[in-house]
Amino acid sequence: MFSYRHAFHAGNHADVLKHTVLIAMMQHLAQKDAALMVLDTHAGAGLYRLDGDYARTSGEAADGILRLAQADAAALAPALQAYLELVRAFNVGAGIKVYPGSPFVIHHLLRPQDKLKLFELHPSDLRALTRNVAQLEAGRQVAVLHEDGFEGYKKFLPPPSRRALVLCDPSYELKSDYGRVQDLVADALRRFATGTYAIWHPIIGRPEAHELPRRLKTLATKAGKPWLHATLTVKSAKLGAPLLGASRRPGLPASGMFIINPPYTLKPALQAALPQLSQLLAQDGHAAHQLLAQA
């Protein structure tokens, strides 16, 4: 149950997609004065060393944030510029050795009136998250909760301010996670139909993974809510497919972000960013992107 550690994957292509979307949403939601409640159901450790043992073992950041950072920043879409600027804010000098996970991405964009609730069950990640958050000296604005995020979110919806963003990005290490994500979304829409719900999901050869986006679309449509689905593929899912001048390494080939009640600014932001991401982060000739939306 507790074998997954995001430190192995910090800064990979899935993080680039997830955090580009997250930042674009946070920037829009911050334009209204009313307080925002943000819930991160699977917070992880919060901060990651890209030169640490975990990240160096997988080397996934080299094909994610580190490759994107080599691009001409002036030529990048605004959403990607904002993403790189935020990541670099956690680093000194030109290099990137520290990668902010979702809790620190969100906190960086919080205003004094906003609140952040972080859920984490993994004992090691919980200890790291608690230490990292303590350095922020954020007081009661940020709460670290040793709870199952699939259940803990319930007591915070609806929020007093009637404004909330829920980020749900489990590891999907357990097949049951797919069903629990679906249950969370269905329940959250009943509790607070106008909240913004952001679901990260892997795109892999598993029936549950294939079905999840379709089921989320059905839930949103039945609730009469707009949705947006952005996907990024960086390589073939087939083992043994040729890479660009390198030997094949196993790893996640693609991922997606499914948003219910997305900010209206998100679709144009991603229309500009996704083609650049699929080009810059391509690991073979199968790289692609897709952006679907229903108002």
Nearest to 13 by CA among 279, 207, 213: 279
- 173 annotated as a binding-site residue: no
Q: What is the DSSP letter of 62?
A: G
The answer to whether residue 169 is catalytic is yes
CA neighbor of 180 nearest in space, from 250, 121, 254, 115: 121
Q: Cβ(79)–Cβ(270) under 8 Å?
A: yes
36, amino acid identity: L
User: 187 a known binding residue?
Assistant: no
* Strand pairing class (196-202; 142-145): unpaired
Residue ranges of the domains in the chain? Answer: 6-294
Per-residue pLDDT of the chain (295 residues; tens, 9 = 90+): 455 567 889 999 999 999 999 999 999 999 999 999 999 999 999 999 998 766 566 689 999 999 999 999 999 999 999 999 999 999 998 899 999 999 999 999 999 999 999 999 999 999 999 999 999 999 999 999 999 999 999 999 999 999 999 999 999 999 999 999 999 999 999 999 999 999 999 999 999 999 999 999 999 999 999 999 999 999 998 854 444 444 445 689 999 999 999 999 999 999 999 999 999 999 999 999 999 999 9
HSE of 80 in the Cβ direction (CA atoms, 13 Å)? Answer: 27
Q: Is 122 annotated as a binding residue?
A: no
pLDDT at 54: 60
Ordered DSSP codes for 235-294: S-SSTTPPPSSS-------EEEEEEES--TTHHHHHHHHHHHHHHHT-SSTT-EEEEEEE
Residue 173 tokens read as 């290490």
Is the model's pTM score more than 0.85?
Answer: yes
Point out the catalytic residue in the list 114, 169, 177, 284.
169
- Residue 42 is assigned to a ligand binding site: yes
> Do the annotations mark residue 147 as ligand-binding?
no
Q: What is the pLDDT of residue 241?
A: 44
Write out the CATH class of domain 6-294: alpha beta
